[in-house]
């Protein structure tokens, strides 16, 4: 009984962590001169990021933690 309660608590914690993460949507991609950049949408705000920053966003870091500035639309 104790094992099943602990297992259920860990599952609930995992779901809570997943729901608290920012959803990251890639809306555009650019490949130029061997470099990659992606335009992503996070919490309603667009950002241009490189591959490393994109992976950090997908791991759960926020744009504020990465000191990203919103993309300016042309």
Write out pLDDT tens, residues 41-51: 998 899 999 99
Three-state DSSP class for residue 16: helix
Give the predicted TM-score (pTM) of the model. 0.70
Shortest CA distance to 18 belongs to which of 10, 8, 26, 27?
Answer: 10
- In DSSP terms, 46 is beta-bridged to 41
Which comes out higher in pLDDT, residue 16 or 51? 51
Three-state DSSP class for residue 57: helix
| Predicted pLDDT of residue 1 | 56
- Rounded Cα–Cα distance for residues 49 and 47 (Å): 6
Residue 13 structure tokens: 């914690």
Q: What is the mean pLDDT of residues 18-47?
A: 89
Which comes out higher in pLDDT, residue 5 or 66? 66
pLDDT, averaged across the chain: 87
């Amino acid at each position: 009984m104790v094992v099943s309660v602990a297992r259920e608590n860990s599952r609930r914690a995992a779901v809570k962590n997943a729901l608290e993460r920012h959803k990251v949507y890639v809306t555009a991609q650019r490949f130029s001169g061997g470099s990659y950049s992606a335009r992503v949408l996070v919490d309603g705000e667009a950002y241009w990021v490189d591959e490393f920053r994109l992976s950090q966003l997908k791991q759960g870091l926020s744009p504020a933690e990465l000191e990203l500035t919103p993309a300016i639309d042309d």
